[in-house]
């Protein structure tokens, strides 16, 4: 999905459930900290704006985006969270390092969704350069952290819509 003409934070009017009863994990990378810290702040602000209690938001840092998967796994195992938001920024370089990190973290996060049956959100920017990252971390294209938070809440709303059906039992 191209975001060239889209402000990623423009989620007004979309149907976002109340996040008051949910516990969230947020894991973000130290690499490109100026960007990832802004993504984290956007995500936390959006969770709170939609009803989440600050004490129900567990925030953890990992060294780089490659470590987001294991950081998220620790949150799922040890913090009993309902959803996890993974935030990173991998800037395209001259080597294939970019591809390896992006592929690994995308696959790792996808697998965690299935393994734990909770939403684990892929909030990793993969820009060509620093300016594109700034544009998506509170700049002219909004804040991808906001979007990741809204996605987490919406997926929990979807999960709850199944839980309320009496014929289905949930272990998590
Ligand atoms: C090594 C590396 C490089 C070159 N670039 C980035 C980047 O742009 N964004 C990011 O989040 N992490 C980067 N890393 C670090 C890796 O994610 C990882 O921390 C190391 O390879 C150690 O596993």
- At 2-13, the pLDDT tens digits run 555 556 566 555
Give the catalytic positions in this structure.
97
pLDDT-derived band at 27, boundaries 50, 70, 90: very high
What is the tens place of the pLDDT at every residue in 111-162? 999 999 999 999 999 999 999 999 999 999 999 999 999 999 999 999 999 9
Q: Which domain holds residue 155?
A: 24-167
Q: Examine residue 172 and state whether it is found in any structural domain, yes or no.
A: no
> CA-CA distance, 63 to 72, in Å (whole number)?
13
In the predicted model, what is the mean pLDDT of residues 84-97?
Answer: 92
Output the pLDDT for position 5.
54
What are the structure tokens assigned to 74, written together? 């620790």
pLDDT > 70? residue 109? yes
Number of domains in the chain: 1
149 falls within a domain: yes
CATH code for the domain in which residue 140 is found: 3.40.50.960
- Whole-number pLDDT of residue 94: 73
For residue 19, tell me if it sits in a domain.
no
Q: What pLDDT score does 8 carry?
A: 53
φ, ψ for residue 63, nearest 5 deg: -60, -55
Q: Which mutation among 33, 86, 90, 93 tests ligand 1's pocket best, with the greatest number of atoms within 8 A of CB?
A: 90
Question: What is the Å distance from ligand 1's center to 98 Cα?
Answer: 8
Q: Locate the DSSP E strands across the chain.
A: 24-29, 57-62, 83-89, 120-125, 137-139, 142-143
Specify the pLDDT at position 1.
44
- Please choose, from the candidates 92, 98, 141, 66, the residue with its C-alpha nearest in 3D space to the C-alpha of residue 27: 66
Cβ 5 vs Cβ 105: under 8 Å: no
The model's confidence at residue 33, banded by pLDDT at 50, 70 and 90, is very high
Flag whether 80 is in a domain: yes
- Beta carbon of 35 within 6 Å of any ligand 1 atom: no
Residue 18 falls inside a structural domain: no
Q: Please tell me the distance between residue 156's alpha carbon and the centre of ligand 1 in angstroms.
A: 30
| Per-residue confidence (pLDDT) for residue 93, from 0 to 100 | 83
Mutate to test the pocket of ligand 1, among 27, 61, 66, 70 (most ligand atoms within 8 A of CB): 66
């Amino acid at each position: 999905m191209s975001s060239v003409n889209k402000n990623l934070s423009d989620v007004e009017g979309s149907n976002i459930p109340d996040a008051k009863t949910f516990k969230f994990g947020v894991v973000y990378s130290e690499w490109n900290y100026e960007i990832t810290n802004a993504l984290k702040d956007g995500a936390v602000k959006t969770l709170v704006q939609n009803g989440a209690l600050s004490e129900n938001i567990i925030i953890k840092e990992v060294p780089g985006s490659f470590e987001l998967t294991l950081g998220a796994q620790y949150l799922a195992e040890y913090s009993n969270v309902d959803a996890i938001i993974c935030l990173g920024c991998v800037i395209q370089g001259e080597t294939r390092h970019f591809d390896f990190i992006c592929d690994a973290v995308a696959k790792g996060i996808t697998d965690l969704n299935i393994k734990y049956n909770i939403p684990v959100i892929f909030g990793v920017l993969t820009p060509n350069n620093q300016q594109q990252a700034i544009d998506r971390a509170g700049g002219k294209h909004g804040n991808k952290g906001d979007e990741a938070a809204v996605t987490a809440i919406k997926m929990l709303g979807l999960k709850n819509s199944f839980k309320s059906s009496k014929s289905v039992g949930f272990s998590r």
